[in-house]
Chains A and B, each alone.
Chain A
Amino acid sequence: MPFYSEKVMEHFQNPRNVGEIKDADGIGEVGNPVCGDMMTFYIKVKDNVLSDVKFKTFGCGAAIAVSSMVSELAKGKTIDEALKITNASVAQELGGLPPNKMHCSNLGADALHKAIENYRKKSGEKI
C-alpha cells in the first residue's frame, strides 16, 4: 500500500489555490522551518464570506495536500462555517493521513483560523 492515500497524492501533485493575495484581508501562519512544515494562508473577505483563499506551504507531501484541501473547503464559506473546519475533518476529507503525519503536517485549519483572527483584529482596529 502506498504511504499516502490517492486523494492526498492528487492534491499534492495538483495543489489548488497556491499563491499569495497582495491586498489580503487576513494572513495566518503556523509552523516553522525547523519542524519542516510551515503554512501561510491569505484570505479575502466580502460580506462575511471568504471570497478568496490562497496559501504558500513549505513542507512534506501531507502538508501540501492539507493546505490545498483547506483552501478548497474554505473558499466561498462564511467565516462561521470556515471556523468549523478542523484539522481532523481535513484529514478525513483527504481519505486519512499516516499516523505520524497527523500532528505536525496537519496544521492547515489552524493557519486558516489564524488568518480569520488576523482579519477580525484588523477590521476591529479600523472601526
Chain B
Amino acid sequence: MKEVYLENQANTKIDERVLSEMLPFLKENYGNAQSMNSLGAVSKDAVEKARKQVAELIGAKDNEIYFTSCGSESNNLAVKGIAEAYNQKRKHIIVSGIEHFSVLYSARRLSQSGFEITYLPVDKYGFVSPDDVKKAIRSDTILVSAQHANPEIGTIQPLEEISKICREKNVLFHTDAVVTCGIIPVDVVKLGADLLSLSGSQFYGPKGAAALYIKKGVRIIPQIDGGIQENGRRAGTENVTAIVGLGRAAEIAKNELDENYKKMIHLRDRIISELPKKIEYIYINGPVDRRLPNNVNFSVEFIEGEGMFLHLDGKGIYVSSGSACASKSLKMSHVLSAIKVDTALGQGSILMTLSKYNTDEEIDYVLSEFPLIVKKLRDMSPLYSYFLKTGKRHVAGPGTDYEHEHEHDENQ
C-alpha cells in the first residue's frame, strides 16, 4: 500500500546518512565517553564533534550546548533549572498558554512549590503579544518562556521583540525551538535567547538525543544529579549513538535548510490552496503568514477528526487530529482552545505536517482521497443533514444544551 507520512511534528524519518554515522557506535565504538581509555576517547570525541555540529546549527558556542534525552527534558531543565537557580529574591515565571506540556507542566509543578506563574493569552492566530509580555513582567520575574513556533497550528512567534523586552527588564528568556530547529533558520543571538530547546528527532535525527542551549554566564540547577557529564549540569552516561546522530542531522539540516524549506512550503501551499477548492466548509487554523513551512491544520465542519484520521490511515495517509476523541485525555487540544476555535469545529480538526521526503505525487494522492473520506463521513453526520435541511448550524459553544435546543426545533 502507498504510504504518505504527514505526522512529522510527532517524529521524522531518520536520514540514511545519519543512520550510517550512528551504526559504529552501536557496534565497535561502545566505550563510555567518560572513560580514560582509548575506546572511551573515541566516544568522547564523537560527542564533542556533535556538540560543535549542533552549536553551528543555531549560532552558539560549543560550550553552550548541553545534551539531554528529548525535547521534554530540555524544557524541564530550562524552566525548573532556571527557577531554582534564581529563586533567592524572585518567584515569578511567565509562559505562553500554548506551550508544549513539558513547559506548562513544569510551570505547574513550580507553582506547587511557591512560584507564581502567569500564562499569557494568544490571539486567534496563536500569536503572543509582546505588549502582554511587557505588562506581565514584574520586579520578581525570573523567566519568560515562549515557544519559537507552535507544532499544531504553525504560528511563528515574534521572539526578537519578546526577548528584547526581557533583556531590558533583566529577565531571562527561554524558547522551545523543538519544531523550528533544522526546519527554519534559528540563531540564538538574533533571537535573543538565553536558553533554547531543540530535538534531533524533529529534523531527521534519531529519538533519544536533544539539547538545551544555555548562554554562557546563565546559572542553572541540574534536574538529574549524580555525575560530571555535561559539565555537571546533566548527569547520566551519554547516549553516544543518538548524540552522534543528532550532530550529523544538525549538520545536514544546516546545509540543506534552504532547499528543504522551499520544497515543504511549496507542498504546504498546495494543500492549503487546493483542499478548500475540493471540500466546502473547511477552515484553516493558525496564521497564513509567519507559519511553519511544513504545517497544515484545517477544521472540517460537521465531522469529527478521529473518524477522518482512521479513514486516512486506512489509505496509508498518516495524520493527526486535535479533536477530543482523538486524544487519550478526551479533551480538545489546548492550542485550539486557546485560539478559541468553536468547540464543535475543533472536533473536526486535522493536522498534517510535512517533511523533506514528501513529494508532489504524494500530495496529489492526499488531495484525491481526502475529499472522498470527508464526503463519506458527512453523509452519515446528523449535523450535516441538519445543515442541509435548515441552512442552520447547531450552536455548540461552551455550555450549549444541544438536546434542549433540538427539541425546541422539532416543536416548531
User: Residues on A close to B: CB < 8 A?
Assistant: 4, 9, 12-13, 15, 18-20, 29-40, 55-64, 100-101, 104-105
Contact = CB atoms under 8 A, between A and B. Distances in A.
A73 to B, nearest CB: 18
Given A32-B396, A33-B343, A57 B381 contact: yes
Given A13-B314, A20-B385, A56-B385, A32 B304 contact: no
B380 A33 contact: no
Given A32-B400, A36-B347, A61-B306, 7 more contacts: A20-B385, A32-B394, A38-B382, A58-B382, A61-B307, A63-B304, A100-B330
Nearest to B381: A58
Contacts of B396: 32-34
**Which 4 residue pairs across A and B have the least CB separation, nearest first?**
A32-B402, A60-B325, A33-B344, A60-B306
A61 to B, nearest CB: 5
B406 interface: yes
Interface residues of B, number: 35
A36 B324 contact: yes
A59 B314 contact: no
Nearest to B346: A36
A62 B324 CA distance: 13
A107 B339 CA distance: 30
A58 B330 contact: no
Interface in B102-136: none
B411 to A, nearest CB: 13
Contacts of A35: 324
Interface in B283-333: 302-304, 306-307, 310-311, 314, 323-326, 328-330, 332
Contacts of B161: none
A110 B331 CA distance: 23
Nearest to A20: B385
Most B-side CB within 10 Å, residue of A33, A101, A104: A33
Nearest to A19: B380
Nearest to B314: A13
Contacts of B302: 58
Of A9, A19, A36, A63, most buried by chain B (CB within 10 Å of CB) is: A36
A55 B396 CA distance: 21
Chain B binding surface, main DSSP class: loop
Interface string B330-345: 1010000000000110
A100 B328 contact: yes
B379 A18 contact: yes
A59 B310 contact: no
B93 to A, nearest CB: 32
A105 B303 CA distance: 14
B380 A36 contact: no
Nearest to A101: B325
The residue in A12, A57, A60 that gathers the most chain B C-beta atoms within 10 A of its C-beta is: A60
A60 B321 CA distance: 11
B369 to A, nearest CB: 14
A126 B347 CA distance: 40
Among B302, B381, B400: residue with most chain A CB under 10 A = B381
A123 B330 CA distance: 39
Contacts of B306: 60-61
A29 B303 CA distance: 17
Contact of A34 (B382, B398, B406): B398
B168 interface: no
Given A38-B383, A39-B382, A60 B307 contact: yes
Contact of B325 (A12, A29, A30, A37): A37
Centre residue among A12, A19, A20, A56 by max chain B CB count within 10 A: A56
B290 to A, nearest CB: 30
A58 B402 contact: no
Contacts of B332: 36
B406 A59 contact: no
A4 B314 CA distance: 13
A20 B403 CA distance: 18
Nearest to A15: B380
Nearest to A105: B325
B287 to A, nearest CB: 26
Given A12-B310, A34-B343, A59-B304, A29 B398 contact: no
Contacts of A9: 310
